[in-house]
């Protein structure tokens, strides 16, 4: 084939519209590939969202976060938002469970920004909820668990009656002993039962109360000290009262906003005659 023929065919190919389209497609594909491989995604976050997340954690724990905890939770929030963006790109948000989560998120939005009580509001809330903050009577006790559920030997029964210490009792009968500090009647009811808890709470200091039978053997408790119910002053539990005031205030604001939204909707449920 002559050089002139090759040149003629090349010129003819260059004049073809499909060839031009093919070249443009290659250019566009190349540009997109380069930009997508080098361009970073920009994730814009609102500091108020981060602050709200930190605040919710403080409410859950009842304690202020230290700097290390704040940095960790902030990093976790950023990571979460990155994953959310990728999930949205994949269309994973079209899911009933996601809709439930979005509804919960909307509840937080409606409840408003993080608020703080004034000293007067804090004092009023504290005085209106005194019984919530009053401690229950409590005691400290020694617990001994003998491995057997059978009747104890006479020497063990005599030692129990005389208020012997746990170490002395374990010389007579196999078992184990542990302290049981700062427990109230409800605690003992949950550990044992109501009847045994009542018996322990009327037992004199130093006396052993038992037995309570379980699959571990038989339990005996020796009360070593008692604490009466008390109402801690506001200064002692200020952080707890503050967090509970905020939770109550946010619930009130949230319900107010939801009630307003209800007024804007006429809800019709299919296959039902009632209109709400």
Top pLDDT among 163 and 26 is at 163
Higher pLDDT, 140 or 25: 140
Distance (Å, whole) CA 112 – CA 50: 14
Highest mean pLDDT of the ranges 11-20, 168-177, 245-254: 168-177
For residue 203, the model assigns a pLDDT of 94
pTM for this predicted structure: 0.51
Q: Say yes or no to pLDDT of 6 above 60.
A: no
Q: How confident is the model at residue 35 (pLDDT cuts 50, 70, 90)?
A: very low
How far apart, in whole angstroms, are the C-alpha atoms of residue 63 and residue 67?
13
The average pLDDT across 5-20 equals 48
Rounded to whole angstroms, the Cα distance separating 29 from 36 reads: 10
Give the per-residue pLDDT at 271. Answer: 58
> What pLDDT is stored for residue 142 in this prediction?
95
- Calculate what percentage of the chain has a pLDDT beyond 90: 46
Model pLDDT for residues 41-71, shown as the tens digit of each residue: 777 778 888 888 888 888 788 788 899 988 8
What number of other Cβ atoms are within 10 A of residue 71's Cβ? 11
Q: Calculate mean pLDDT across residues 191-210.
A: 95
pLDDT at residue 30, as a whole number: 46
Residue of 162, 190, 167 whose CA lies nearest to 177: 167
**pLDDT for 72-95, tens place per residue?**
888 888 877 777 777 777 777 677
Q: What are the residues whose beta carbons fall under 8 Å from the beta carbon of 256, sequence distance 6 or more?
A: none
């Amino acid at each position: 084939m002559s050089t002139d023929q090759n040149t003629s065919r090349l010129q003819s190919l260059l004049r073809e519209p499909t060839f031009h389209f093919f070249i443009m497609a290659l250019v566009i594909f190349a540009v997109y590939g380069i930009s997508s491989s080098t361009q970073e995604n920009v994730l814009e976050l609102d500091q108020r969202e981060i602050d709200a997340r930190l605040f919710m954690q403080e409410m859950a724990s009842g304690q202020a976060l230290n700097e290390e905890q704040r940095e960790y939770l902030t990093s976790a929030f950023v990571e979460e938002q990155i994953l959310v963006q990728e999930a949205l790109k994949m269309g994973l948000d079209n899911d009933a469970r996601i809709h439930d989560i979005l509804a919960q998120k909307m509840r937080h939005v409606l409840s408003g920004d993080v608020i703080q009580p004034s000293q007067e509001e804090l004092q009023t809330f504290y005085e209106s909820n005194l019984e919530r903050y009053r401690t229950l009577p409590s005691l400290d006790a020694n617990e001994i668990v003998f491995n057997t559920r059978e009747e104890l030997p006479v020497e063990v029964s005599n030692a129990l009656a005389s208020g012997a210490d746990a170490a002395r009792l374990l010389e007579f009968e196999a078992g184990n002993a542990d302290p049981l500090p700062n427990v109230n009647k409800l605690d003992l009811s949950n550990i044992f039962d109501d009847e045994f808890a009542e018996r322990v709470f009327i037992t004199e200091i130093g006396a052993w109360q038992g037995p309570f039978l379980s699959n571990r053997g038989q339990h005996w408790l020796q009360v070593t000290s008692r604490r009466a119910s008390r109402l801690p002053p506001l200064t002692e539990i200020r952080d707890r009262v503050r967090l509970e005031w905020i939770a109550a205030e946010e619930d009130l604001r949230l319900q107010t906003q939801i009630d307003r939204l209800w007024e804007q909707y006429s809800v019709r449920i299919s296959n039902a005659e009632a209109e709400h």
